[in-house]
């Protein structure tokens, strides 16, 4: 499993000394409690008891995963119009954050949005909230436009959208009341009674200060308040940093939410010495959060098991069962790890579900990075996991499911076909319907991709043939360079998003690079925009 050094900002001198690549994305950040560096929340001998189920051993090695059973309807789900969520708002000159007017990007400046996430109001299928790294706010200390938590709201099922920036995250011209220079890794979750949660990492590029943030809306995503789950000082940031956070909303209580992330502990040489996934909970609407507790990475900790543990997603069901999936290294392999808690995240039981064969980063012929982190979806007791798996020559989307709440799991199958490469998958389910979408790179595709998807109407037992979701191809080679004109690498985010509403209609959200900019002051002439489309079956 590959350790990611992200850069919506790389900020620390220690990271640079360790040889971190300067590429746009999400940046080195750090996490300690009470202003002082802390060790992992549990010593090895103090980890909660863990069990290993009969289904934990992978049934097949990565290269031999069979094809999914196709349903009798092979045409695939119907795809709705492609909608640009920001509506070309890169030309807007002003934005308002907490009532303060701040400068946004000029035409042709850094206008990207990437790393998309989306959720739907469980009580109102027309109410969608999405998020992305949004680079339209100017940061004077960097003399360029940088990422903030962009939020996008629809009340008509995704046909039209309004947009804004989360308050309390970034300074934005030193006018907005946020303490940090940049933010990223957005994650959106929907709770009851019109509540939405939005997790972010916030950080400074010019030093190591950073935090895990959680914003909350109680009016369907129209307005937001921002709190902080965990902060670290600039002094401690070079020794320990946080990354890859995710958030889950309790479906029965609008005041309860969970956030997971990875703590990366840095050794004396600046190289990661260990990584652990941790979890924190709020029961008062985000006013306070519990101290981070470790989610154990494997049933039997062995040599190296606390390294290479990242990419977590978290969910919670109506009974209060918390589920966390992530990629973990154990016994010389990378695995899909699955951890459950029935006591609010205080203790966990962990299983290893299947071996992951990490895809190369970047893929041959591409310049944007990728990953094989698993994505998780839930529909009652039916659980669904997808990831991008390397078969020796190409990347394929692999799927497993459980129909009994996670007690047993199916054999991994390939749901994406046999041509080109497939990466950045996401999965979501409701009312017995399961949808998965991903980036699809044609054979020899280089830096170009489209968006594809599949549907299942029997809870994942069989799948439609893949359909093309995007109506245009994205060419990252022509995209912007995030203020680094000589940077050879590109960045499209580390994941995509999909959600399913109460009517069983899916809403896919992805980073799209089809739109020509009105003015070009950066190499290439296209802008990254969040696009969405519906899938119905």
Looking up tokens 């035409």 gives 107
| pLDDT bucket at 53, cuts 50 / 70 / 90 | very low
DSSP 499: E
- Predicted confidence at residue 207, as pLDDT, reads 83
Q: Mean pLDDT over residues 494-521, rounded? A: 86
What does pLDDT average to over the chain? Answer: 81
Which range, of 126-140, 181-195, 462-476, averages the lowest pLDDT?
126-140
242 has pLDDT over 70: yes
Residue 387: partners with Cβ closer than 8 Å, 6 or more residues away:
327, 336, 356, 372, 373, 374, 375, 397, 398, 425
Distance CA 440, CA 223 (A): 35
Domains of the chain, each with CATH number or no CATH: 13-41+64-536 (2.120.10.10)
Percent of the chain having pLDDT more than 70? 74
* Model confidence band, residue 232 (pLDDT cutoffs 50, 70, 90): confident
Q: Give the pLDDT of residue 306.
A: 53
Place of tokens 């895809």: 359
Q: Which string of DSSP letters, residue by residue, matches 293-343?
A: EEE---SS--TTTTSS-EEEEEEE-TT--EEEEEEEEETTEEEEEEEEESS
| Predicted local distance difference test score (pLDDT) of residue 54 | 29
Widest distance between CA atoms in the chain: 60
Residue 24 has pLDDT above 60, yes or no: no
Per-residue pLDDT, 101 = 66
Q: Cα–Cα distance between 38 and 182 in angstroms, integer?
A: 24
Alpha-helix runs per DSSP H in 350-505? none
Q: How much is the pTM?
A: 0.85
């Amino acid at each position: 499993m590959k350790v990611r050094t992200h850069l919506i900002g790389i900020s620390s001198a220690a990271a640079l000394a360790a040889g971190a690549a300067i590429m746009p994305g999400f940046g080195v950040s750090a996490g300690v409690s009470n202003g002082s560096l802390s060790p992992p929340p549990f010593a090895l001998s103090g980890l909660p008891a863990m069990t290993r189920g009969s289904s934990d051993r992978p049934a097949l090695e990565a290269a031999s995963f069979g094809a999914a059973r196709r349903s009798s309807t092979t045409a695939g789900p119907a795809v709705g119009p492609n909608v640009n969520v920001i509506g070309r708002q890169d030309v807007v000159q002003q934005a308002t954050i907490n009532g303060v007017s701040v400068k946004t990007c000029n035409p042709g400046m850094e206008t990207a949005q990437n790393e998309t996430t989306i959720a739907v109001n469980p009580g109102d299928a027309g109410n969608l909230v999405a998020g992305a790294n949004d680079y339209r706010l100017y940061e004077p200390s960097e003399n360029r436009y940088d990422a903030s938590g962009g939020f996008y709201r629809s009340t008509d099922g995704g046909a039209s959208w309004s947009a804004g920036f989360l308050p309390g995250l970034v300074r934005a011209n030193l006018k907005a009341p946020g303490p940090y220079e940049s933010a990223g890794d957005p994650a959106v979750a929907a709770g009851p009674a019109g509540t939405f949660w939005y997790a972010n990492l916030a950080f400074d590029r010019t030093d190591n200060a950073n935090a895990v943030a959680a914003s909350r809306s109680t009016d369907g995503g129209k307005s937001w308040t921002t709190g902080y789950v965990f902060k670290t000082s600039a002094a401690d940031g070079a020794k320990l940093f946080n990354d890859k956070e995710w958030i889950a909303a309790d479906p029965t209580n609008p005041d309860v939410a969970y956030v997971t992330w990875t703590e990366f502990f840095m050794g004396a040489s600046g190289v990661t010495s260990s990584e652990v996934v941790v979890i924190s909970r709020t029961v008062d609407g985000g006013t306070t959060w519990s101290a981070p507790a470790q989610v154990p990475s494997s049933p039997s900790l062995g040599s190296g098991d606390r390294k290479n543990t990242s990419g977590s997603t978290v969910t919670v069901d109506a009974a209060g069962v918390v589920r966390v999936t992530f990629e973990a290294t154990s016994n010389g392999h990378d695995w899909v790890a699955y951890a459950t808690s029935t006591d609010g995240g205080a203790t966990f039981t962990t299983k290893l579900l299947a071996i992951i064969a990490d895809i190369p980063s970047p893929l041959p012929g591409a310049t944007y990075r990728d990953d094989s982190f698993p994505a998780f979806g839930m529909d009652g007791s039916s659980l669904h996991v997808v990831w991008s798996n390397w078969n020796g020559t190409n990347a394929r989307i692999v799927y497993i499911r459980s129909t009994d709440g996670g007690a047993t799991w199916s054999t991994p199958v390939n749901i994406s076909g046999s041509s080109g490469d497939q990466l950045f998958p996401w999965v979501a389910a409701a009312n017995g319907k399961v949808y998965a979408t991903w980036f699809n790179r044609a054979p020899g595709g280089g830096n170009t991709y489209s968006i594809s998807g599949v549907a299942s109407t029997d809870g994942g037992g069989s799948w439609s043939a893949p359909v093309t979701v995007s109506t245009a191809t994205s060419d990252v080679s022509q995209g912007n360079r995030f203020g680094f004109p000589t940077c050879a690498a590109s960045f499209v985010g580390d994941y995509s998003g999909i959600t399913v509403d109460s009517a069983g209609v899916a809403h896919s959200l992805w980073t799209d690079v089809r739109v020509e900019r009105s003015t070009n002051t950066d190499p290439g002439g296209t802008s990254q925009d969040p696009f969405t489309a519906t899938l119905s079956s």
